[in-house]
Structure 1
Amino acid sequence: MAASPSTARAINDRLALRLLQDEGPLTAGQLKQLTGLSRPTVADLVERLADSGLITVVGESGEQRRGPNARLYGIVADRAHLAALDVRTEGVSVLVSDLLGRVLAEASVPIAGDIGTGPAVEQAVALVERAVKEAGADRLHTVGIGAPGLIDPVTGELRDSSGLPAWHRRLVAALQERLPEARVSVENETNLAALAEQREGGARDRDTFVLLWLGHGAGAAVVLDGTLRRGASGGTGEIGFLPVPGTATLPSATDCEGGFHSLAGAAAVEALADACGLTGAADGTDGPRAAGLVRAAVAGAAPPAATDRFLDALADRIAIGAASVVAVLDPGCVVLGGEVGQAGGARLAARVQERVRRMSPLPTEVRPSTLGGGAVLRGALLTARERAQDDLFTGDPRRGGAAG
């Protein structure tokens, strides 16, 4: 059954907008060549999208030919403004961007664990409002939030998880209340990091891989055949609860102590460094002390014997979690993410890969993250931008959609 004229126009408009997003400014002739549409059809869609405020003339092609140069059309970047948040146990980071993903403002604030839910939420919301003002935006179209914990697959809401601050759940509702015109959504932080690694980081050439998150805690995200897998309850990748050898107890339904978290979480990495004689060897850069210790070890800032002892022991621990994931999923690639994974770089990844090869018959490449802790913000921004574009690009072009 042939598409109706209105449906065909919407499909053509969306195709043209995606090309402008991916390729940058294009002439009508280039759009015709890339889409395969007729010259009159391209002329109509260009006029339609320009009238809607989604595209505008941004220059000329500079082609040397008779007559005027061809006009270059580009997406109107300030048609919508977006915010991305990385919500951690100890604070919040935020960035504000335009529709093309260009960062206009970025800020963060530490939040003490003892100040109470109300003040913590107010600090976080005020941070977002300041960033929006600094970016010169009147309002936000879409807000993407990355947070630790489980996301309910039915409601899309952050579930009440023990061990996480109460203000995390309240923040999502507070942002929606203070920004009533914005579309606010929340996703597990490790899932967002995996999306960023797939688009811009260490897994750009992989449509199947596992991100092993090594930061304050330990987690994992699973991407199979290009699709992020969340599981029946939204808990795919809760590897911190994985029972492992080498711990004094077993994890419970409410506490991951005794699980993989006890081997690879930040506190465990710091204790391991102390035991290997690397006390005080952190490189002094911003971020978790555990990442600084790993970075210093990789850089050779500690005695070689202590460094090798530490990196070998850490690789032994990480390989337990990695090999468990490989045995079940056979992803072919494991990316060591988070601040610790990035700090370890190729040197730690090679050690983990060698151990996984000994533990599993399944060929697996282990790679370091190229985005580290910043992957959560990048993933939140990517998802916010996609949601905004879906809303703006699929609506009636003459009606436009909600401006940002």
Structure 2
Amino acid sequence: MPASPSTARALNDRLALRLLQQDGPLTAAQLKTLTGLSRPTVADLVERLQDAGLIRVVGESGAARRGPNARLYGIVADRAHLAALDVRTGSVSVVVTDLLGATLAEGALPIGADTGTEPAVERAAGLLERTARAAGPAPLHSVGVGAPGLIDPATGELRDSSGLPAWHRGLVRVLQERLEAAVLVENETNLAAVAEHRAGAARDRETFVMFWLGQGVGAAVMLDGRLRQGASGGAGEIGFLPVPGVSGPPSAVNCDGGFHSLVGSVALCELAARHGLVAPGAAARGREEEIAVRTVRTALAAGRAGEPFLDELAGRLALGAAAVASVLDPGCVLLAGAVGHAGGAGLAARVEERLAAVSPLRTEVRAGSLGDGAVLRGALITARDAAQDALFPPG
């Protein structure tokens, strides 16, 4: 069934806006080439977008070409602002941008484990409000929030999770009450995968699985260009995956005994101690992720001396990747998060080699390219997509 004229116009306008966001400023002739639309159709959509206050003339394409055909059109980036929050167990980071993603203001603050729920919520919400004011007078249109834990796909709400601070759920509720902007919450690993897909190591992949390796371990599933959360929001809870070589199976409320017990930061510190790379008991000092990251980097730089540790780590990661490949056959696994980023291409190559030895399904293993900033990047992408959907619904 062909699209109605109004739907076709909206789709054309959204395509033009996306091109102007990604590649702008552009002339009408360039928009014609990139969209494949006719010259009159492009002229009409340019006029509509200008009348709506979404684009404006920002210059001309060259001194030798004057007149209407040489006008460069760009997004009215200061029409509204976007915000992203990266909510961690003990901290929150905020960035506010214009509609093109240019950073206008940012901030971060620690929130200790001894901070009460209400004070923690107030500190985090206050940080966002101060940062938004510092960015300028434009209204805040959409706010993307990345948080650990499960997001209910039916309601979009952060679910109660054992081991996570109560202020996380309280913060989401307060932001929704205090802000006129749309507040969009998603699991941090899923947002990092969105960022890697749109602007990172998986730009050429419509299907992949990303491992987020840090204090714990999680995964994000991208199939045919769409993030898959699962029926309850739990797709990718790979830390609970039963694996051999641990004390026993995980329980419904604790992932100890699952894949987490092989590749979480505590397990990596213990592995590093066994290989003589850190002092025994390092994992008990409360800096497990930092120690795991430093150890992976040290092992990579140590040449042959670091190979036994890296080989065993790669074997453990290949075990989880083989389980994922046997069910989803994604063709590509990304290693991201603090540990994955530290391991880089060297660790990814080792994992791919060991994965090929235990799985008949050809699976490429890559390192994520966006590092720890992937969560904020993904939250901003989510906020920008929401703003575009609101400005130009698809008919």
Return closer, same or farther for 1:7/1:335 CA change in 2, 3 Å cut-off.
Answer: closer
Instruction: Identify the residue that residue 312 of structure 1 maps to in structure 2.
Output: 311
Residue 182 (structure 2) pairs with residue 189 (structure 1): no
Instruction: Identify the residue that residue 220 of structure 1 maps to in structure 2.
Output: 219
Q: How far apart, CA to CA, are the structure 2 residues paired with 1:146 and 1:77?
A: 24
Match of 1:64, SS state, is coil
Q: How far apart, CA to CA, are the structure 1 residues paired with 2:340 and 2:252?
A: 26
Return closer, same or farther for 1:33/1:214 CA change in 2, 3 Å cut-off.
Answer: closer
Is the 2:78–2:138 contact (alpha carbons within 8 Å) kept by the matching residues of 1? no
Moved more, 8-17 or 336-345: 8-17
Is the 1:93–1:108 contact (alpha carbons within 8 Å) kept by the matching residues of 2? yes
Match of 2:96, SS state, is strand
Match of 1:288, SS state, is helix
How much has 1:56 moved relative to structure 2? 0.8
Q: How far apart, CA to CA, are the structure 2 residues paired with 1:5 and 1:243?
A: 53
Match of 2:161, SS state, is coil
Instruction: Identify the residue that residue 210 of structure 1 maps to in structure 2.
Output: 209
Q: How far apart, CA to CA, are the structure 2 residues paired with 1:379 and 1:191?
A: 8
Instruction: Identify the residue that residue 87 of structure 1 maps to in structure 2.
Output: 87
Residue 156 (structure 2) pairs with residue 156 (structure 1): yes
Residue 300 (structure 2) pairs with residue 298 (structure 1): yes
Match of 2:18, SS state, is helix
Q: Any idea what the Cα deviations from partners look like across 1:73-97, whole Å, max 9, x if unmatched? A: 1110111111111111121111111
Is the 1:81–1:137 contact (alpha carbons within 8 Å) kept by the matching residues of 2? no
Is the 1:327–1:360 contact (alpha carbons within 8 Å) kept by the matching residues of 2? yes
Return closer, same or farther for 1:40/1:206 CA change in 2, 3 Å cut-off.
Answer: closer
Instruction: Identify the residue that residue 349 of structure 2 maps to in structure 1.
Output: 350
* Root mean square deviation, CA, Å: 2.4
Match of 2:278, SS state, is coil
How much has 1:21 moved relative to structure 2? 2.0
Q: What amino acid sits opposite 2:242 in the alignment?
A: P
Instruction: Identify the residue that residue 263 of structure 2 maps to in structure 1.
Output: 264
Q: How far apart, CA to CA, are the structure 2 residues paired with 1:7 and 1:190?
A: 34
Q: Any idea what the Cα deviations from partners look like across 1:113-160, whole Å, max 9, x if unmatched? A: 121211111121122122212322443110001111111111111111
How much has 1:344 moved relative to structure 2? 0.5
Is the 2:296–2:339 contact (alpha carbons within 8 Å) kept by the matching residues of 1? yes
Instruction: Identify the residue that residue 124 of structure 2 maps to in structure 1.
Output: 124
Q: Any idea what the Cα deviations from partners look like across 1:196-251, whole Å, max 9, x if unmatched? A: 11112221211111101101110111111222111111111100011112222321
Q: How far apart, CA to CA, are the structure 1 residues paired with 2:65 and 2:74?
A: 22
Q: What amino acid sits opposite 2:387 in the alignment?
A: A
Match of 2:317, SS state, is helix
Tell me the TM-score normalised to structure 1 length: 0.90
Q: How far apart, CA to CA, are the structure 1 residues paired with 2:238 and 2:389?
A: 33
Instruction: Identify the residue that residue 340 of structure 1 maps to in structure 2.
Output: 339
Structure 2 segments unaligned to the other structure (5+ residues): 283-288
Q: How far apart, CA to CA, are the structure 2 residues paired with 1:41 and 1:68?
A: 16
Q: Any idea what the Cα deviations from partners look like across 1:345-388, whole Å, max 9, x if unmatched? A: 11111211111111111111111111122211111111111111
Q: What amino acid sits opposite 1:135 in the alignment?
A: A
Instruction: Identify the residue that residue 246 of structure 1 maps to in structure 2.
Output: 245
Return closer, same or farther for 1:280/1:71 CA change in 2, 3 Å cut-off.
Answer: farther
Q: How far apart, CA to CA, are the structure 2 residues paired with 1:40 and 1:330?
A: 45
Residue 111 (structure 2) pairs with residue 111 (structure 1): yes
Q: How far apart, CA to CA, are the structure 2 residues paired with 1:165 and 1:333?
A: 33
Q: What amino acid sits opposite 1:155 in the alignment?
A: T
How much has 1:65 moved relative to structure 2? 4.4
Q: Any idea what the Cα deviations from partners look like across 1:49-71, whole Å, max 9, x if unmatched? A: 22221111100111624767722
Q: How far apart, CA to CA, are the structure 1 residues paired with 2:135 and 2:374?
A: 21
Match of 1:370, SS state, is coil
Return closer, same or farther for 1:223/1:395 CA change in 2, 3 Å cut-off.
Answer: closer
How many residues get paired? Answer: 389
How much has 1:112 moved relative to structure 2? 0.8
Is the 1:54–1:76 contact (alpha carbons within 8 Å) kept by the matching residues of 2? yes
Is the 2:27–2:69 contact (alpha carbons within 8 Å) kept by the matching residues of 1? no
Is the 2:14–2:388 contact (alpha carbons within 8 Å) kept by the matching residues of 1? no
Is the 2:142–2:384 contact (alpha carbons within 8 Å) kept by the matching residues of 1? yes
Q: How far apart, CA to CA, are the structure 2 residues paired with 1:322 and 1:11?
A: 38
Is the 2:57–2:73 contact (alpha carbons within 8 Å) kept by the matching residues of 1? yes
Q: What amino acid sits opposite 1:299 in the alignment?
A: A
Q: How far apart, CA to CA, are the structure 1 residues paired with 2:244 and 2:35?
A: 56
Structure 1 segments unaligned to the other structure (5+ residues): 397-404
Return closer, same or farther for 1:65/1:364 CA change in 2, 3 Å cut-off.
Answer: closer
